[in-house]
Amino acid sequence: MKSKIAFITGASHGIGRAIAVEFARAGYSLALNCRSSADDLNKLAKELNETYGIPCIALIGDAGDEDFVNHAFLRTEQTLGAVTTLVNNAGLSHIGLLSDMRLMEWERIMKTNLTSVFCCCKRAIPNMVHGKYGQILNISSVWGNIGASCEVAYSASKGGVNAFTKALAKELAPSCIAVNGIACGVIDTRMNQCFSEEERRQLAEEIPAGRFGSVQEVAQLALSVVTSPLYLTGQIITMDGGWQ
């Protein structure tokens, strides 16, 4: 039986936190990462260890920084073992006209949303190839599929994640490593708290399901994908209540 050791980025809140809880319930050993919410992440790691009896470590740092990622994976390997499941969830949004966006803001979005995926995958792959098994799941967005006005950088970064996922899946399938993505629609997280109550109501009315998705629903799908047969690979699974 394969070891179940998962490395999850952006795990201190929202979708990443829900995935961590779902994986802990399923018996995974966890390495949880976030960039700056150290108190929240440390508290979560402690709670999951105590509640589910699974090894769980917190790793504070920028998943878009290759030096940090190398250090984080080394600590994970020394503490838990080689990572068998990688969930790239770290994400950052930016709403505004592209003409008003500064280069540093563009670069921050790309580093957080796309470069982090590159850094973590690059570090995880060698051990997965050696073990002839691996699951990589990238959390994306419907805007990576179709684009969104006033979210050009975010859409571009998530479109990059989608293309990255499909290409890497072809590269790694011969090594028994699956690479998939979940393109989320409107999920009820703090990323969408910028909307007023009226805007939230109008947006929900546009969605055939009539509501925002929950982080728990995304987490349940995430666990289902990474426990699927390895023949499921290269897929971007859209979860949006029938919206797009």
Residues noted as catalytic: 154
> How far is the C-alpha of 108 from the C-alpha of 64, rounded, in Å?
9
Burial degree of 97 (CB within 10 A; 0-12, 13-18, 19+) = exposed
CB of 18 within 8 A of CB of 44? no
Closest CA to 93 of 199, 197, 207, 15: 15
Give the list of residues 6+ apart from residue 115 with CB closer than 8 angstroms, or none. 64
> How far is the C-alpha of 117 from the C-alpha of 232, rounded, in Å?
20
Helices (H), the chain: 14-25, 38-52, 66-79, 103-110, 116-131, 142-146, 152-172, 197-206, 215-226
Order of all β-strands in the sheet with 134-141 = 56-60, 29-34, 5-8, 85-88, 134-141, 177-184, 236-239
DSSP letter assigned to residue 1: -
SS3 of residue 56 by DSSP: strand
